[in-house]
A and B are shown apart, each in its own frame.
Chain A
């Protein structure tokens, strides 16, 4: 399954399928990006990060892709599990000021 972040804030996938969550960022000066997972009533958890000098980074079951030309990030989750159900946010870091700004978020629901 695939989402377009801002336009499709919810995504439902079958357990075992791959998930793709998309995020469009706004500032071309952003040079560092993080994907966070947030479960209901909890603070965000770090999943994976990527710097602007890379276009792909892989972790355990997760891959982040960065397209600076169109200012687009995606998070791919392989073999999605029920425990992956959560809201996923991308965050961009702008070197000047050093703050992180969060995207809209996508709610992922994994259907057993």
Chain B
């Protein structure tokens, strides 16, 4: 199956700093990437949908100035958590859609665990 990677896998940062998380589709071109957030023992919450070359579409309640998404190429999307605070600590997961699969085919990355001190 298609492979999606995320970098870094874990990050610890101080409150007030910004953190960038990369999501890459390694063997296919992803026309659309999705960013999710997951708290411990909770479900995945869709944050935003990112289409290559256009602005991301954010879900209701997600601050677009707080969570900056850039999808500059067909294989890379980045999520930047700006001025991170302890409440931003979470597991961030991306997924990518595209390649030979139909509209529904979505491949998940391994996730990035963010801890803000």
Contact = CB atoms under 8 A, between A and B. Distances in A.
17 contacts: A34-B104, A34-B106, A36-B108, A41-B91, A42-B110, A43-B93, A43-B109, A44-B44, A44-B108, A45-B108, A49-B104, A89-B43, A97-B49, A98-B97, A100-B46, A101-B46, A107-B41
Interface in B27-85: 32, 34, 36, 41-46, 49, 57
Interface residues of B, number: 27
B113 interface: yes
Interface of B: 1, 4, 6, 32, 34, 36, 41-46, 49, 57, 91, 93, 95, 97, 103-104, 106-111, 113
Interface residues of A, number: 22
The binding surface of chain A is classed by DSSP as strand
Contacts of A98: 32, 49, 97, 103
A81 interface: no
Contacts of B93: 43-44
A41 B93 CA distance: 10
Given A49-B104, A89-B43, A104-B43, A99 B49 contact: yes
Nearest to A44: B108
